[in-house]
Chains A and B, each alone.
Chain A
Amino acid sequence: MKTNDVILQTTTNLVFFIIILFSIHIFFAGHYAPGGGFVGGLLTASGIVLLLLAYDIKTVTTALPINYTVMTAIGLLIALGTAAGSIIFDVPFFTHAFDYFDLPLLGKQSLHTAMLFDTGVYLVVVGVTMTIIQSIGDDD
């Protein structure tokens, strides 16, 4: 069944980027303000779900040719790698480090290894959610 939801599709085209931008924002803001990898990932996923609702799965997979299983794996590896990275510095497993840096354009910012771990969480959440939704939606 092919439908032509002009209003939904037009709105989606616009809203999708807002959702993605917002998800990126709360992902980065996560350490100081509400947000973080988990919510950010879910928000990104919900953005893609919106795309799926407006278009069909085929269109979305051509537009975003992402293998979500691989994404999950990469996320897990990043998370584990961050945790295991502490071994190199001979500190207990999962020790995070942070410091403040003067970055060009952005000014004084704090940088965390927790951020890397959060990236892993983000990727896993997006990967898992999309894998589940895609496999169920794909199934006929």
Chain B
Amino acid sequence: MPFVYFIFIPMLAAILIPFLYKKVRSIHTGWFVLVVPVVLFGLYTTFVPKLQNGDTYTSSFDWIPSLDISFISYIDGLSLLFSLLITGIGALVVLYSIFYLDKTREKLHNFYVYLLLFMTAMLGVVQSDHLISLYFFWELTSISSFLLIGYWYTRDRSRFGALKSMMITVFGGLMMLGGFILLSIMGDTYSIRELISQAPELANHKWFVWSLILVLLGAFTKSAQFPFYIWLPDAMEAPTPVSAYLHSATMVKAGLYLVARFTPLYASSEWWIWLVTGTGLLTLFWGSFFALKQTDLKGILAFSTVSQLGLIMSLLGAGAISFHTGIEDNSIFKYAAFAAIFHLVNHATFKGSLFMIAGIVDHETGTRDIRKLGGLMSIMPITFTIALIGSFSMAGLPPFNGFLSKEMFLSGMLSIQNFDLFAFATWGILFPIIGWIASVFTFVYSLYFVFRTFTGKYKPDLLPKKAHEAPIGMLIPPAILGTLVIAIFFVPNLIGDYLVKPAVIAMQPFLYTSPSEIDIHISAWHGPLEPELLMTLGIIGLGLLLYWTLPKWQPLYTKFPDWLSLNRLYDSMMYFSEVGTNRLSKMYMTGYMRSYLVYMFTGIILLSISTVFIKNAFEVSFATLAPIRFFELIIALVLVAGTVTILLAKSRLTSIIALGAVGYTVALFFVIFNAPDLALTQLVIETISVALFLLAFYHLPKLNRHENRMKFRLGNALVALGVGITITIIALSAHSQKLVPSISSYYEETVYSEAGGGNIVNVILVDYRGFDTLFEIAVLAIASLGIIAMIKLRLTKKKEVNRLEDK
């Protein structure tokens, strides 16, 4: 099977889930779901050795061939690494969710369908080589994460968080689509690989920077970078397995993936380096600083994720500088890309486990409020151990994998000041300083998270439940991740050689061609008194000091004015857009059919008349007119008389009859001008609509002419006159100038040979323009459903409505 189909396996499995859920109630649905990521993980692992000499694999199938849109699955180091994370962490999360979500109380089929949908979307994002399909999957992640965050949809906060995340990420996605379209126009291809191969030419294009900024907006919103991070803390309303999966290991990393994937294309631009590195550092600092303000365990982790994503982002930016220095330069920048990918893996392991820990604490004590927690160490020893491993790794302490990548980060930031491309001599010194301060705060919040929860005094009276150790199944997934955290520290080069180096090639294809050329060896010990070591010691020293004095300075956070926060900005933006649009629609939605007709007719007049004027298309020629016969004139007079009667009629019955008369007269015209089809149709329609009017007649209110004021009547008369003149002008012009032969001759010639019919009208309806007809009858059907809904299903009794709402 071509591996492009692997992407869709979770989605296909999702179809089965509701049936399994219904039929096999005794077994937790999660067990069936678990098979999918495990199998996929196994399948993707087989690619690992294949990529060791720098090969890449593609597999594709056509989606919309006429628009050159296809699914191209492209497996190189980067997409493979992400695919392994998605399926690997996915498997652990599914296992964890089996114990976290109660099978009797929760709507498991919804949950797993969304989760599997998300898995497909994520795999699609990281493997698509086609811009449009990448965008498709990108928005699919937004939608499926919206469903997952809002899983407990009866809670207001869940719905709010889900909406917020979708508003922000979909906004970014749309911006990104704009960037993609610019790119595809510039490079005349949708393929990312082909675009990268054209990178030098594209860099000189006038749209290059615009597309760069738009693509980065997509990446920044998805990866919760400053100032778009505000959705991530609210997304913590999702069930914890979702948080562990989406908000630490996969979805938020899609933005990082995008930046890494487009680095070879954009790295030549200073905008890219400044924006990516700068935003990353700012986010790193901001997130780590405000993590200490939080009192919710998942809130702390959310801000810590924001900050760690910023760290990886800044490293990706620093890695892009290697394009300006070249391989011969013995600079550290080529390490930065490596460090970024390496930390990405490490972060997925320790943050995934920490989220699961937060879920366990929540599950077993009933609260996530850190002020109520404490002293759980003796009650939940296994949980505590895993939490300690994860936190210390996050803090950057040995012997855990976070230490290795944190050291690399510091090296990267230190070396950035040596770089003189953008006059870093003056500003460059800020980078290591900000990075260092952020690392101190990272250290403090890591301690804050683990020690406030597990040490100190146990406060059973504050806890909704009596605390006890979690069931073994819930502990296995975080324990596996915790083991990985330690294992990576002791054999970092195994991960480095097999996973990270192939991924680095995708980011720096101009420097290397195969993984073995990358001469990076991760070591825990750099040698004595390297600046990185001193900085780490400084972090530990100052961090401990800050942690001990935390109760003294933590209240400072509350001094931060609330109205200055970005959340407030988002809320007021949402509020004003709602109020504003409401006001706008109230202005023109008057509830009178008459008003809407006036809008429509005015639009028709303006559009048609202005087009005729701009194109200078008005022309009158009576040369080809047929003579007007006497009885035609009479019919026309009857038509006018009927119309005038409708306008002046005092009773509804008169106007209905007059309307019928107008319709039949038009049918007569059709008869005269040899259009039996139209005449027949017109006659039947008139008959039926008169019958319909008579049926409805009984229910209609007494005919009253609204707003008999002069102003309105004048306005109506003006619009009516305008429509009449417009149609006359168009009809005269259309008749007077025939630039191209009429299409009817084409139909006449082909109707028998092509469609085997004799009646042009019917052949057009069912054959030439059958698609139109199909949609028209669909519209008819929808209209009839609408009428049923309005008439048959309306809830006439107010009481009944109230009773339903109370339920």
Which residues of the other chain, A, contact B778 by a CB distance below 8 angstroms? 76
| Closest chain A CB from B681 CB (angstroms) | 5
| Closest chain B CB from A28 CB (angstroms) | 11
B523 within 8 A of A: no
Contact of B759 (CB < 8 Å), options: A36, A98, A132, A135: A36
B603 within 8 A of A: no
B677 within 8 A of A: yes
Q: Report whether over half of chain B's contact residues are helix, strand or loop; otherwise say mixed.
A: helix
Q: Report whether over half of chain A's contact residues are helix, strand or loop; otherwise say mixed.
A: helix
Contact of B684 (CB < 8 Å), options: A33, A39, A93, A96: A39
| Closest chain B CB from A109 CB (angstroms) | 11
Q: Do B787 and A131 touch across chains, with their CB atoms under 8 A apart?
A: yes
A85 within 8 A of B: no
Q: Do A117 and B770 touch across chains, with their CB atoms under 8 A apart?
A: yes
Q: In the complex, A133→B319 CA distance in Å?
A: 70
Q: Do B677 and A96 touch across chains, with their CB atoms under 8 A apart?
A: no
| Interface residues in B, total, Cβ within 8 A | 39
Q: Do A30 and B787 touch across chains, with their CB atoms under 8 A apart?
A: no
Contact of B765 (CB < 8 Å), options: A38, A128, A129, A138: A38
Contact of B787 (CB < 8 Å), options: A83, A96, A114, A135: A135
* A-B contacts, CB under 8 A, total: 143
Given contacts A124-B781, A128-B781, A132-B787, contact A31 B688 (CB under 8 A): no
Q: CB-nearest residue of chain A relative to B766?
A: A114
Given contacts A35-B759, A94-B770, A133-B695, contact A128 B784 (CB under 8 A): yes
Q: Do B766 and A139 touch across chains, with their CB atoms under 8 A apart?
A: no
Which residues of the other chain, B, contact A137 by a CB distance below 8 angstroms? 695
Q: In the complex, A69→B778 CA distance in Å?
A: 13
Q: How large is the interface on A (under 10, 10 to 19, 20 to 34, 35 or more residues)?
A: 35 or more
Q: CB-nearest residue of chain A relative to B777?
A: A124
Q: Do A37 and B791 touch across chains, with their CB atoms under 8 A apart?
A: no
Q: Do A72 and B759 touch across chains, with their CB atoms under 8 A apart?
A: no
Q: Do A98 and B756 touch across chains, with their CB atoms under 8 A apart?
A: yes
Q: Do A69 and B759 touch across chains, with their CB atoms under 8 A apart?
A: no
Q: Do B688 and A46 touch across chains, with their CB atoms under 8 A apart?
A: yes
Q: CB-nearest residue of chain B relative to A131?
A: B784
Q: In the complex, A45→B684 CA distance in Å?
A: 9
Encoded as 1 (CB less than 8 Å from any B CB) or 0, chain A from 81 to 94 comes to 00100000000011
Q: In the complex, A76→B774 CA distance in Å?
A: 8
Q: CB-nearest residue of chain A relative to B792?
A: A135
Q: In the complex, A19→B755 CA distance in Å?
A: 29
Encoded as 1 (CB less than 8 Å from any A CB) or 0, chain B from 647 to 686 comes to 0000000000000000000000000000011001100110
| Closest chain A CB from B776 CB (angstroms) | 9
Given contacts A80-B774, A128-B780, contact A38 B787 (CB under 8 A): no
Which residues of the other chain, A, contact B787 by a CB distance below 8 angstroms? 131-132, 135-136
Q: In the complex, A75→B777 CA distance in Å?
A: 9
Q: In the complex, A53→B690 CA distance in Å?
A: 12
Where the two chains meet, the residues of A that have a C-beta atom closer than 8 Å to any C-beta of B are 26, 30-39, 42-43, 45-46, 49, 52-53, 69, 72-73, 75-76, 79-80, 83, 93-94, 96, 98, 110, 112, 114, 117-118, 120-121, 124-125, 127-129, 131-133, 135-139
Where the two chains meet, the residues of B that have a C-beta atom closer than 8 Å to any C-beta of A are 676-677, 680-681, 684-685, 687-688, 691-692, 695-696, 699, 755-759, 761-763, 765-767, 770-771, 773-774, 777-778, 780-781, 783-785, 787-788, 791-792
Give the top 10 A-B pairs by smallest Cβ distance, nearest first.
Answer: A32-B758, A36-B762, A98-B756, A124-B777, A42-B684, A31-B757, A34-B676, A131-B784, A128-B784, A114-B766
Apart from A31-B759, A124-B777, A124-B780, 19 more pairs, CB < 8 Å: A30-B759, A32-B758, A35-B677, A36-B765, A39-B680, A42-B685, A72-B780, A79-B773, A79-B774, A83-B770, A83-B774, A96-B755, A98-B755, A121-B773, A124-B781, A127-B781, A131-B784, A135-B788, A136-B699
